[in-house]
Amino acid sequence: MAHTHSATTNGKDPAVKKIWKVFWILLVITSVEVGLAFLHLETGFPSKLWLNSIFILLTLLKAFYIVAEFMHLRHEVKNLIMTILFPLLLFVWFIIAFLMDGDSWKKMRTNLSPGTPAVKEAPAPKPAHH
């Protein structure tokens, strides 16, 4: 009788265990994001700038973890990883640059209608020292 060899350990498939591990890690990170959102809505803490910064960092953490696990980049050589990540970072910079440029055009359009001179704001009065 031939001996059959399976890739299971203790009756559980390692791939299934890894998927569950990824699921729980992503669930915890997402729960932290949702909890922070509700905390901010109820108390105003943390400030909106901090909250958005935390959201961006946690979302990037989730994205890199997903890419590392499901695209198998965690086990690849460094040059291949940089070949993928460097253009991605340039693309993110591209989006941010265009959003900032569009915002400046929007501000210029609201501050200056075509054909009218720009109105300079009066300087704020200096407080008197007593």
Q: What is the DSSP letter of 75?
A: G
pLDDT confidence of residue 50: 96
Q: CA dihedral defined by 48, 54, 57, 58, rounded to 10 degrees?
A: -120
CB atoms within 10 A of CB 58: 15
Q: Mind listing the pLDDT tens digit for each residue in 19-78? A: 999 999 999 999 999 999 999 999 999 999 999 999 999 998 998 888 888 888 888 888
Residue with the bigger pLDDT between 23 and 10: it is 23
CA atoms of 61 and 29, how far apart (whole Å) = 9
What backbone phi and psi angles, to 5 degrees, belong to 46?
-75, 170
Q: State pLDDT tens for residues 115-126.
A: 666 666 667 777
d(CA 88, CA 79): 14
- 6-10, 21-25, 92-96: the lowest-pLDDT one: 6-10
Report in angstroms the alpha-carbon separations of 112 from 117, 123, 129: 7, 19, 37
Average pLDDT of span 89-97: 90
pLDDT at 47: 94
